[in-house]
Structure 1
Amino acid sequence: MLGLDEWFYNFSQFFSQHATPENLGKIPAPYTEMTVYGTFKCAELGSIIGGLVAHPIYRIYLKNKVTNETMTSNTYKIIRNKCRKLQGRFLLAGIALGPLATFAYVKATGMSTMDAKDFCYKVRCDNDCLVQDRSALVMGFVGWYWKRFQGAVDGMNIGLIYAAVHEHFLKVYTSPLLVNKVKEGDRYASVQEIENSTSRFKKFISKNENWKSLDS
């Protein structure tokens, strides 16, 4: 799946048998994974700007343009629909900008493959970031089902608000039911450590096979 199998296992937490420290650090397509992350962040930023900044400003602007002569029974409904369309366009712009912004970031920083893997590994281990992205995705889908991209903005913003509450209150004062299956103490320190460990294991197996062939 485009080299994103291990990313999906960690992001969804659906497949407990695949939730291992080794899979957590297995990153076969780091640049693709970075693009997914960048698209998430740009979409969330577009949702916030569109739904919480541009929408209310544009609504105030349109309401101030209304006069007694232009007022109709549908005026405020038309204004609301225009504002919703605007916030939906911000979300679409964020989604479109995500891959371009990621590509520009990689080129500007001269990021190597190992640097990209380390970046992705840190993202995978960032519980608060994962809650944010999961909440935005789930609630965004609910909003999209309700009113397509216009509703997706409202849903994503609700999800982001929940993520903020989770980070500053729920995880501090309560015991969240949904937690990552790979605990912090079980994780490797870096991708390099995982790859070195895997390499040593493969060498060990290879040597054993050679010994078996010599014995035979």
Structure 2
Amino acid sequence: MTFSSIISACAQLGDLQSGSWIESCMLRLGIRMDNQLTTALIDMYAKCGSIDKACELFNELSKKDVVSFSAMILGLGINGRAMDAVRLFDEMIEAGINPNLHTFSGLLTAYSHAGLVEEGYQCFKSMSTYGLMATVDHYGMMLRLGKEEHNLQIIKLKVISSSSNLRAMQQLGAREKLQRASSSEKWRRRQRKGRMEKAKEGWVSSVS
């Protein structure tokens, strides 16, 4: 098992203590911190909530590529710094580095955490500009981004346009059914409450 895979495991577990210990071990052993290792550390620190440390490592990179940019964009997004993620994306484009699917996953995550529905939709739509086709995961992010009935309709009409994205459409259908069921249940409760009130009034009148 490589150091990179161990660091990635720490990131997935959210184990900051072990991840930091691995980094200190590598430094003591004199292991050269190449882009792959540094990017793994960026991802680990960001996912463990140490976003400032992740930014520090990112800024120290001698050569930034789409992998390191994408990791940093995602890190900023999950730590509530959506606008910083967007600015970093713009910086990447200005540097002549084309985004990939992971880059857009990070951006959509940033918009989702910030509750920026329309901005998220525009970001999703721009994927085709870079010759990228959204995956089921991206459709899932858009579904999570839409919180109200209005947003569900935006996603349904503007985003889900391909029958090949069956899973995404099934998720949307399930969500709409859940909302309809919830509305129906609320209506039934109001009806029961109304009948109970009428019955109570009738009982009081008969007693009087």
The structure number with the bigger radius of gyration is: 2
TM-score, normalization by structure 2: 0.27
TM-score, normalization by structure 1: 0.26
* More relative contact order, 1 or 2 (CA 8 Å, 6+ apart): 1
